[in-house]
Structures are given as structure tokens and as C-alpha cells.
């Protein structure tokens, strides 16, 4: 089917993600004229409400979560008029039948179902859809993470959905893939001739991926505790970023070619063991401290009890293939970090031979020769910076080198372009049936297989989170993890 789905059915419509991201994204798509004619949004949640009451809630969410200059009363009125609300409890066949009545006669023109619910409801919801006759070859289903909590449970979730949909109908959401800068990695690597020949163990010393957040638990206690940073951030977002950095060039930008290459990279991750986790990983948990000048409480205080859940993790990963042999990938992510900052750092090797005398040393006797660094900042700003060596002006007999930065601010280069919500791209692709930016089952499983090796290692070696004061980049052992190798986290 080439036409985009004419109906969008959202489960979990009264939840936080729907209010913050999904409705504002749909609003933006409508405002930009990107939704099909005669589009219908059927919103479903457990609360009992009529269309009017729900539309008011959506309008309030748009006012709250859209930038003030983006909210337009006329567009909002047109937008909420597209929405109908149907209360549905998974397992209630009558309510699914009512849902089907609302969509009656529209199935041929495509139905995109979006599950923004806890994963325990995925399979029962799919079952309800099936019994109500809502699954046809023109139906697609999108699922939010987490897909399981380990490889075994992810298989159960995937089997449940896979019993009713074929893989081409299943869209696993990782919202990082909707971020412009993450897609830009593909453009950078494969749209330029200059990076790819250097993108391997010959020229690259190591790679760093940092996703720092200043927030703490944010009231997500019931979800987060027992899950932790490794499952919440590394299993999905960070490994997706890693796979795009590490993959071989796909033959073309299509869902099969791109995901085939990503999964090969993910499968090449060297599993950890009880022995290796001790020097390849660091777990941390925040204690009271200050973030951005604000005093904040510790994780255990927010939770109301002690816990072994990590809110920070740092890893040294290896990808055992030809391209990346011996190149460490350092990953770190955490809550209550000093800054909301996500970036990728490609640290190149030093030049093979310095013609300028003693290299790598500033000051007397040194020329200041430093290896090149490529920094790709994902957020809060979006930029690409390349540190290169130049000659400092002057008449010294020995050439003095100085690092300067080739600095491309994507925000400035594309000034006037609205910064989009990652979900806009993903919803548009879901409606159009393009799976390139969605995660295939084998990718999720390869991600879990590696994560499981770390969790098993932690359990066997009894690795507990080390304390770090809020407002720091994790425990000091995270700094030692990289400094032992003669490198340091990019500042």
C-alpha cells in the first residue's frame, strides 16, 4: 500500500508520552499539511470520558507542551476535531467492538496503531484488535520500549505481537532514531568521501558516546526502579547510536539494507563476563548534591528506600570485527549529571610520525601536536566540530602547533528551520510504512543478548552501584575506566 494510513489509533492516550510528545507531534504534522486528508485519530485509554472532554485535555496538553509561538488556536481547533476518544480496557471485548465501530469502513485505507502503554498490555491489546477484526494487511503496529527486561522476556513480547502481525507490520520505536542529529550520522558517514576511509581501527583510537541527563526519577519510580540506566538507556538509545557509528555502509537507504548492517554490528559486540565486567563497566547511583545550582535529593530518598538500581553506567565495549578490532567504545549515561548533554566523540590516533619534533606536548620542547577529535553533539545544541592542528602565527624556529576547531552549528546552518520533535519523523514514517528508522526484532534481540551478558556478570561478580553526588559525571571509577587507557572523557 503506498498511501499513508488514514487512521491513527493510539493506546495509552491519557499517558505522559501522549501528552508531551505524540499529540504535539501530530499537531505539528497537521499544521505543516503533512497528514492525509480525512485523517482520523482514535484515542484510547482506561479513563471514561467522552470526545469533548478528551479534546479539551489534548488542547491543554498542546498549550503546555508546544512552544508558545507554535500554538495556534485555529490549528488546535482543527486538530482536536480529528480526535475521537474511546475508553478501552485490554481484555474488554465490548469496548474493542466499539472501537471497531469508530473505524468502520476505513480499514482499507490503512490503520496505524500506536501502543504507548506498559509492555504487559501489548499482547492483550493486539489480541483485542484481532478479535475486533481490526488487523488486516493494511494495519501496522508501533510499540514503545521497553520490549522486555531481558532477552527471554523480549522474545515473549515479540512472539505475542508476531503471532498476529508479520515483521513488515511491526514498528518498534526508539525515539533517538527520530532525532535529526542521529540521522545526520548517516549523512556524515555516507554522504561525504572524507570520513569513511578513516572510519576504522587504522585511524581511530577510540569512540565515546555520552548521554547525560540532569533530571532524576521524575515520578517514574514504579517504572525505573529495578530497571536502571543500563536497560533504560543503553539497551536501546545508546546501542542504536553505536550501531550507526559502527555499521558497514549499507547498499542503499532502505529498511532491509540499513538494518542488516546495524544488526551485524550489534552481534559483534563482545559479551562481558563476571570476570570482565569488573574492569569494563561501572555502575553508579546518585546521592544528594546540586545540579545547575539547585539542591537535589538522592535516589534512595526519592524512592523512599535503599535500592541496588543504577542511575549511571559507564562501559568499555569492543566490537569484534575487522573494522573495529582493538578500538574501545566508551559509553556513559546517567541521571543527575552536571548537564543535559549528549554527544559522540570520535578520537583519532596521533599522526604516525611527527616532523615537528616532540609531539603531543605543550610548552618547552613540545610542539603541541594533538590527535584530531570529531565531536558530534546531539543535544542540547546540534553541532559537528572537528579539532585540527594548525600553525600558530609567529617566528619561533620550531613550528608551534595549535588546535583549532572547524565548527558547524547545525542550528545556525539551518536557521529558520523549526527544530522538530523526534516523534514527528517517526509518526510520519509509521503512517507511510517506512521501517528504516524503526528497530527490527533481530536488532532488539542482539541488543538484549549483550545487555544480558553485563547484567549476568554484575550478578555473578556482585557488582553494586557506587555512590556519586548529584551534579557529577558519575562515580570516580567511571573516570578511571577511561583514564587507565591513557584517554579521558571529552569535556
DSSP line for 301-362: HHHTS-----SEEEEEE-B-STTTTT--EEEEEESS-SS-EEEEEEEEPPPSS-TTSS-S--
C-alpha cell at 231: 536497560
- Residue 213 CB, shortest distance to ligand BG6, in Å, is 5
Residue 175 assigned ligand-binding role: yes
Q: Count the residues in the chain.
A: 491
Separation CA 186–CA 397 (nearest Å): 43
Residue 12 assigned ligand-binding role: yes
Cβ nearer to ligand BG6, comparing 213 with 452: 213
Residue 260 assigned ligand-binding role: no
Range list of H helices, 163-286: 180-190, 221-224, 228-229, 239-246, 255-267, 277-280
- Residue 244 CB, shortest distance to ligand BG6, in Å, is 16
* Beta pairing partners, 85: 43
Residue 381 assigned ligand-binding role: no
- Residue 232 CB, shortest distance to ligand BG6, in Å, is 5
C-alpha gyration radius of the chain: 24
Cβ nearer to ligand BG6, comparing 55 with 237: 237
Torsion angle, alpha carbons of 382, 482, 232, 422, to 10: 10
Provide CB contacts within 8 A for 444, sequence distance 6+.
147, 148, 154, 158, 172
- Contact between 213 and ligand BG6 by CB under 6 A: the answer reads yes
- Residue 418 CB, shortest distance to ligand BG6, in Å, is 17
Angle at 331 between CA 328 and CA 332, to 5 degrees: 145
Residue 19 assigned ligand-binding role: yes
> Which residue's entry shows cell 570476570?
275
DSSP line for 32-67: TT-SPTT-EEEEEESS---HHHHHHHHHHHHHHHS-
Among the listed residues 237, 279, 353, 490, the single catalytic one is 237
**Closest of 126, 40, 46, 130 to residue 86, by C-alpha:** 46
- Contact between 310 and ligand BG6 by CB under 6 A: the answer reads no
Residue 179 assigned ligand-binding role: yes
Cβ nearer to ligand BG6, comparing 236 with 281: 236
Strand pairing class (40-45; 281-287): unpaired
Kind plus residue range of the DSSP H or E element containing 20: none
- Residue 363 CB, shortest distance to ligand BG6, in Å, is 40
Residue 320 assigned ligand-binding role: no
Cβ nearer to ligand BG6, comparing 232 with 343: 232
Cβ nearer to ligand BG6, comparing 109 with 340: 340
* The only residue of 59, 205, 232, 424 in contact with ligand BG6, by rule CB under 6 A: 232
Cβ nearer to ligand BG6, comparing 179 with 440: 179
- Residue 473 CB, shortest distance to ligand BG6, in Å, is 16
459-478 residues labelled b (16+ CB within 10 A) or e (exposed)? eeeebebbebebbbbbbeeb
Q: How far apart are the first and last CA of the chain?
A: 48
Phi and psi of 47, rounded to 5°?
Answer: -65, 150
Separation CA 435–CA 364 (nearest Å): 56
Find the helix packing angle between 51-65 and 23-31, rounded to 10°: 80
138 noted as active-site residue: no
Residue in the shown chain whose Cβ atom is closest to ligand BG6 = 232
- Residue 307 CB, shortest distance to ligand BG6, in Å, is 16
Strand pairing class (83-87; 341-348): unpaired
Separation CA 44–CA 116 (nearest Å): 10
Count of residues near ligand BG6 by CB under 6 A:
2
Cβ nearer to ligand BG6, comparing 223 with 414: 223
Residue 17 assigned ligand-binding role: yes
Residue 78 assigned ligand-binding role: no
Separation CA 177–CA 434 (nearest Å): 13
Residue 14 assigned ligand-binding role: yes
- Residue 340 CB, shortest distance to ligand BG6, in Å, is 8
Cβ nearer to ligand BG6, comparing 129 with 177: 177
Annotated binding residues for NADP(+), written as ranges, equal 12-19, 46, 145
Please enumerate, by residue number, every residue annotated as part of a binding site for substrate: 175, 179, 213, 232, 335
Residues tagged active-site: 237
Residue ranges that bind ligand BG6, judged by CB under 6 A? 213, 232
Query: Which residues belong to the annotated binding site?
Result: 12-19, 46, 145, 175, 179, 213, 232, 335
Amino acid at each position: 500500500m503506498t498511501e499513508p494510513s488514514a487512521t491513527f489509533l493510539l493506546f495509552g492516550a491519557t499517558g505522559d508520552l501522549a501528552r508531551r510528545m505524540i499529540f504535539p507531534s501530530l499537531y505539528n504534522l497537521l499544521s505543516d499539511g503533512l497528514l492525509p486528508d480525512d485523517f482520523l485519530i482514535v484515542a484510547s485509554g482506561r479513563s471514561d470520558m467522552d470526545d469533548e472532554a478528551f479534546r479539551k485535555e489534548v488542547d491543554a496538553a498542546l498549550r503546555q507542551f508546544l512552544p508558545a509561538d507554535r500554538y495556534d488556536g485555529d490549528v488546535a481547533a482543527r486538530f482536536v476535531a480529528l480526535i475521537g476518544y474511546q475508553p478501552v480496557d485490554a481484555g474488554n471485548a465490548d469496548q474493542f467492538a466499539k472501537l471497531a465501530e469508530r473505524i468502520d469502513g476505513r480499514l482499507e485505507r490503512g490503520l496505524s496503531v500506536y501502543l504507548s502503554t506498559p509492555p504487559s498490555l501489548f499482547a492483550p491489546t493486539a489480541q483485542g484488535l484481532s478479535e475486533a477484526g481490526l488487523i488486516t494487511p493494511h494495519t501496522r503496529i508501533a510499540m514503545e520500549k521497553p520490549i522486555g527486561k531481558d532477552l527471554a522476556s523480549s522474545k515473549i513480547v515479540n512472539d505475542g505481537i508476531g503471532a498476529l502481525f508479520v515483521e513488515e507490520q511491526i514498528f518498534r520505536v526508539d525515539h533517538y532514531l527520530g532525532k535529526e542529529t542521529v540521522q545526520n550520522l548517516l549523512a556524515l558517514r555516507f554522504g561525504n568521501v572524507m570520513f569513511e576511509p578513516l572510519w576504522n581501527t587504522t585511524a581511530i583510537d577510540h569512540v565515546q558516546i555520552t548521554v547525560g541527563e540532569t533530571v532524576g526519577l521524575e515520578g517514574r519510580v514504579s517504572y525505573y526502579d529495578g530497571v536502571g540506566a543500563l536497560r533504560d538507556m543503553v539497551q536501546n538509545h545508546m546501542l542504536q547510536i553505536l550501531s550507526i557509528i559502527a555499521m558497514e555502509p549499507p547498499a542503499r537507504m532502505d529498511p532491509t539494507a540499513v538494518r542488516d548492517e546495524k544488526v551485524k554490528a550489534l552481534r559483534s559486540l563482545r559479551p562481558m563476563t563476571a570476570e570482565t565486567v569488573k574492569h569494563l563497566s561501572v555502575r553508579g547511583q546518585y546521592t544528594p548534591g546540586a545540579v545547575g545550582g539547585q539542591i537535589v535529593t538522592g535516589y534512595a530518598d526519592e524512592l523512599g528506600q535503599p535500592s541496588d538500581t543504577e542511575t549511571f553506567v559507564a562501559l568499555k565495549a569492543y566490537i569484534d570485527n575487522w573494522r573495529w578490532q582493538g578500538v574501545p567504545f566508551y559509553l556513559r549515561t546517567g541521571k543527575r549529571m552536571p548537564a543535559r548533554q549528549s554527544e559522540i566523540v570520535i578520537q583519532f590516533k596521533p599522526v604516525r610520525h611527527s616532523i615537528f619534533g616532540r609531539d603531543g606536548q605543550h610548552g618547552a620542547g613540545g610542539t603541541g601536536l594533538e590527535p584530531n577529535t570529531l565531536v558530534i553533539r546531539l543535544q542540547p545544541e546540534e553541532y559537528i566540530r572537528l579539532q585540527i592542528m594548525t600553525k600558530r602565527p609567529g617566528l619561533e624556529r620550531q613550528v608551534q602547533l595549535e588546535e583549532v576547531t572547524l565548527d558547524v552549528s547545525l542550528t545556525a546552518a539551518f536557521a529558520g528551520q523549526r527544530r522538530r520533535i523526534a516523534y514527528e519523523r517517526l509518526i510520519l514514517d509509521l503512517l507511510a510504512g517506512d521501517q528504516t528508522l524503526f528497530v527490527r526484532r533481530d536488532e532488539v534481540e542482539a541488543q538484549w543478548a549483550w545487555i544480558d551478558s553485563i547484567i549476568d556478570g554484575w550478578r555473578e561478580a556482585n557488582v553494586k552501584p557506587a555512590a556519586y553526588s548529584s551534579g557529577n559525571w558519575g562515580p570516580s571509577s567511571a573516570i578511571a575506566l577511561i583514564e587507565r587507557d591513557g584517554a579521558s572523557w571529552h569535556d
